[in-house]
Amino acid sequence: MDIRLRYRSDIVASPIELPSSKSIANRALVINALSEHPAEIGGMSVCDDTQAIVGALEQVSEHSATIVDIGAAGTAMRFLTAYFAALEGVTVTLTGSQRMCHRPIALLVDALRQSGADIAYLGEEGFPPLRIEGKRLRGGEIAIRGDISSQYISALMMVGATFSEGLCIRLLGDTLSRPYIEMTAEMMRQWGIDVRTSADRIEILSHGYRSPASYTVEADWSAASYIYEMVALAELQNVVVRGLVAPERSLQGDSELVDLYRHFGVTTQFCDGCAVISCSPSESDEVLSLDLKATPDLVPAMVVTACLKGRRFTFEGVGNLRIKECDRIAVLTTEMRKLGYLLTFDDESVSWDGSRCEAECNPLIMTYKDHRIAMAFAPAVTQHQGLAIEDAMVVNKSFPQYWEQMRLMGIIAEKI
């Protein structure tokens, strides 16, 4: 469904409700499935990505399917590849959408094979679909590059707690999205596993999960980036957002939003289980130079915010965005041009030096089936009335209530 947007500055009706963290929820599901006595999990995400894992686990536990199709859920593909490889007695064909079958998986497969996994490619070498024969894996020491996807490493860590010899992971090169690895480690500790991490090494020193009595998933800081973006662009005051855990207590690296958006005049106060977000006018001629390697999911919102605030920037550490749901760097460059901004990029950075072109009238933003592109561009309607979003319901992948929450902040969506 395509929609056209208009902005009404007289509507601000917080509190805003965020989805629960799909990053935490997805890990909790896999860890819980590996546990002898699963915990009660509260606040589970209902987004498409998480429901793909829920459905896959149910299918296999009920022996109702040997073909598991996870659609466009990239986290599900990585986590379930490892999970099924370590699940004794199960034979599964794991596949996904057309785009998913062109997203690389070889690094994870190779690492699992080092531990004895039986995985075969059914199509192009290095890509799904996969034929997986589950077995008890031995573990030991394996090596994997850290500069491609932290999800590969998290997948190995979670199943490593079931390996007969435990697991030691040597990380080769730089490690991207390090906070997600630390999130996995901390959650494993909460399920009774002794995990030790250093710059280039992760050791799983005990095996056999011991579940807590219950576990509650916190609200999603990645989804909050679009609320911060909206506050910055519309210079809103006292927008209340429920459920966000303060950065010093949150498992999520994307809680760095609080610091990142200070560059745009946005401040955050925490009280009574809520975040109160406000923006004051902020002007600076200084080029904003940031390394966003640890927080790649924040890049789309940061790019749109910086351009529309007139803030020149260079964002480093964004190379792995080329292999997300779409090539996010190329797409951001293409779609920002429709709004009149000329970005440049290379293998590891994206920049804007202030160069402009004529903006399109009533531009149609193509989403390329990428939820973060749709959500990042919608707040641009504050400066581009009539902006339209193609395939708007792609937001269901991570934030099913996105359009309802944006309406509370003045963005009115009408079906084209």
pLDDT 10s per residue in the chain (416 long)? Answer: 999 999 999 887 779 999 999 999 999 999 999 998 899 999 988 888 999 999 999 988 766 668 999 999 999 999 999 999 999 989 999 999 998 999 999 999 999 999 999 999 999 999 999 999 999 999 999 999 998 889 999 999 999 999 999 999 999 988 888 999 999 999 999 999 999 999 999 999 877 899 898 999 999 999 999 999 999 999 999 999 999 999 999 999 999 999 999 999 999 999 988 999 999 887 788 999 999 999 999 999 999 999 999 999 999 999 888 878 889 999 999 999 999 999 999 989 999 999 999 999 999 999 999 999 999 999 999 999 999 999 999 999 999 999 999 999 999 999 99
Rounded-to-integer distance, Cα 98 and Cα 103, Å: 9
Q: Is the peptide bond before 19 cis (omega within 30 degrees of 0)?
A: no
Catalytic residue (choose from 48, 254, 297, 391): 297
Whether the full predicted model's pTM is greater than 0.75, yes or no, is yes
Distance CA 185, CA 207 (A): 13
Let me know if 297 is a catalytic residue. yes
Name the residue type at position 391.
Answer: D
CB 343 within 8 A of CB 390: no
The Cα 68–Cα 92 span in angstroms is 7
Q: Are 306 and 353 in contact (CB under 8 A)?
A: no
Distance in angstroms (rounded) separating the CA atoms of residues 402 and 409: 11
Place of tokens 């906070």: 179
Which of these, 143, 116, 115, lies nearest to 201 by C-alpha position?
Answer: 143
Give me 4's structure tokens. 């056209």
CA–CA–CA angle 305, 358, 226 (5° rounding):
20
The Cα angle at residue 114 between residues 110 and 115, in degrees rounded to 5 = 125
Nearest to 280 by CA among 225, 312, 232: 232
Of the candidates 174, 167, 208, 168, the residue with the CA atom closest to the CA atom of residue 188: 208
Closest CA to 348 of 321, 323, 372, 317: 317
Whole-number Å distance between alpha carbons of 63 and 54: 14
Contacts of 364 (CB under 8 A, 6+ apart): 2, 338, 388, 389, 390
CB-CB contact of 222 with 19 (8 Å): no
What tokens were used for 320? 């792995």
Bridge-partner residues for 19, per DSSP?
none
